[in-house]
Amino acid sequence: MIKVENLTKSYAGFTAINDLSFQVAKGEIVGFLGPNGAGKSTTMRILSSFMPATSGRALINGFDVFRQADQARQSIGYMPENVPLYPDMRVGEYLSYRAALKGVKGRKQKARVLDVIERCSLGDVRRKLIGTLSKGYRQRVGLADALVHEPELLILDEPTIGLDPNQIRQVRELIKGLGKHHTILLSTHILPEVEMTCNRVIIINKGKIEASDTPANLLSQLRGVGGVRLEAQPGLDNGREWLEKVTGVREVTETVEGDWKLYQLRIETGADPREEIYRLAAQRRWALRELTRQRATLEDVFIEVTQSDV
C-alpha cells in the first residue's frame, strides 16, 4: 500500500528526514512515533503529495506521489496536523465541497456525506459554522473529510492531539473501527494509544527509523527495562546486599520511606526473581507489603530508542 524508498527531505541547512525506507501492507494500522521535530509530519506531507522529497521516492498503491500525484491523492484520505478548515463554511456544506473536489458526485455524494457525518457523530453540528466548533468537533470534521471519498489509505497526523480524554477514547474507537476496511498510518506521541490501536510501530528520530515492529515484539526486546518493586522492613539486615545476591537481579536502589524501605530492582532480560525474593523475605523474617513486577511500556521503548545516542 505504501512503499517508501530512501526518502530524504532537506531544507536549507537542515535534514528533516534522512534516507527513510519502509513499507506498509494493506490492512495494517501503523503508528508513527517520534519526538517533536523527528520528521513525522514531513514524511506524512510527502506521502500525501503536499510537497516533494529531495530524493528517494514514495509509492501509494503503486502510484508515485510526485509524478502521479492525482491518482495517489485519490487513494489517500489525509488529515493534516491541527486540521485547517474554512471557518466560514458549515459542516455539511464543507463535507459536500470536499467530496466534490475528490470526485464524489451526485447521489453518491449525498450518501457519502451522510455516512461520514453519522460515523464521526457530527449530526448535531451539521448546520453549524466550522469557525464556531470546539477543537474536538473540528478534529472529527477533519477525519470525516479524510473518509468522505472512501480512500483505501488513511494518513492521520496527530488525530487525537488537543482532545479531552473522552474524545480521545471516541477517536481511538473510531480509528480501530476504520482499521477493518482501511490501511491506516497515524502519527502521535500518546503512547498508550499506539499500544491499543496499532499492529505495528515505526519509531523515527532525527529523520531516521530507529525501530519498526509490532508493539509486543518491541516490548519483549526490552523486557530488561522493566523491573521489580519491593517494599519491605528488613529489620537489622542490609536489605540491599541480600537482594543483590538473588539470581537475575542486576541492580538495586534503596530509598527509605519512614519505617519502610523501598527497593527498585533492575533485572536481567527474561528473569523473574519474585518467587526467590519472597522466599528470601520469609526466611529472613522481613515484613513485606509490596512485591510487584513492573512491565516495560512502549514509553520505555520510546525513551530507550530515541535517547540511545545521548
Partner 1 sequence: MSKFLTLLGREIKSYFYSPIAYVVLTFFLLITGFNFYVCVSLLNQGPTGVTVLEAFFNTVTFWWSFVLIFPLITMRTFSEEFKMGTVEPLMTAPVGDWQVVLAKFFGALFFYVVLWLPSLAYFWLFQKITLAEAAYAPGAFGGSYLLLLLLGMFYLSIGCFASVLTSNQIIAAVICFCAVTLTFFSGLLWMFMSSSFSGATRDLMAQVSAIEHMMNFSRGVVDTRPIAFYLSMTCLMLFFTHKVFESRKWRA
Q: Where does this chain bind partner 1 (CB under 8 A)?
A: 11, 45, 48-52, 69-71, 73-74, 76, 78, 80, 82, 84-89, 97-98, 100-103, 105, 142, 145
Where are the extended beta strands (E) located within 85-244? 153-157, 183-187, 200-205, 208-213, 227-233
Shortest Å distance, C-beta 177 to partner 1: 23
- Which residue, 98 or 200, has its beta carbon nearer to partner 1? 98
Shortest Å distance, C-beta 98 to partner 1: 7
Distances (CA, A) of 131 to 23, 89, 118: 38, 8, 21
- Which residue, 88 or 251, has its beta carbon nearer to partner 1? 88
Integer Cα distance of 45 and 25 in angstroms: 19
Shortest Å distance, C-beta 231 to partner 1: 51
- Which residue, 80 or 239, has its beta carbon nearer to partner 1? 80
- Which residue, 45 or 182, has its beta carbon nearer to partner 1? 45
Distances (CA, A) of 298 to 30, 200, 213, 218: 14, 12, 12, 8
Shortest Å distance, C-beta 189 to partner 1: 20
Shortest Å distance, C-beta 190 to partner 1: 22
Shortest Å distance, C-beta 20 to partner 1: 18
- Which residue, 97 or 242, has its beta carbon nearer to partner 1? 97
Integer Cα distance of 132 and 24 in angstroms: 37
Integer Cα distance of 104 and 149 in angstroms: 6
Burial of 118 by CB count in 10 Å (0-12 exposed, 13-18 middle, 19+ buried)? exposed
Integer Cα distance of 233 and 283 in angstroms: 13
> Residue with C-alpha cell 530508542?
305
- Which residue, 103 or 162, has its beta carbon nearer to partner 1? 103
Shortest Å distance, C-beta 46 to partner 1: 11
Shortest Å distance, C-beta 251 to partner 1: 48
Integer Cα distance of 187 and 201 in angstroms: 10
The pairs formed by 301-307 with CB atoms below 8 angstroms and a separation of 24 or more are 301/203, 301/211, 301/218, 301/219, 301/221, 301/222, 301/225, 302/33, 302/191, 302/203, 304/222, 304/225, 305/203, 305/205, 305/210, 305/211, 306/34, 306/35, 306/38, 306/203, 306/205, 306/210
- Which residue, 89 or 196, has its beta carbon nearer to partner 1? 89
- Which residue, 142 or 207, has its beta carbon nearer to partner 1? 142
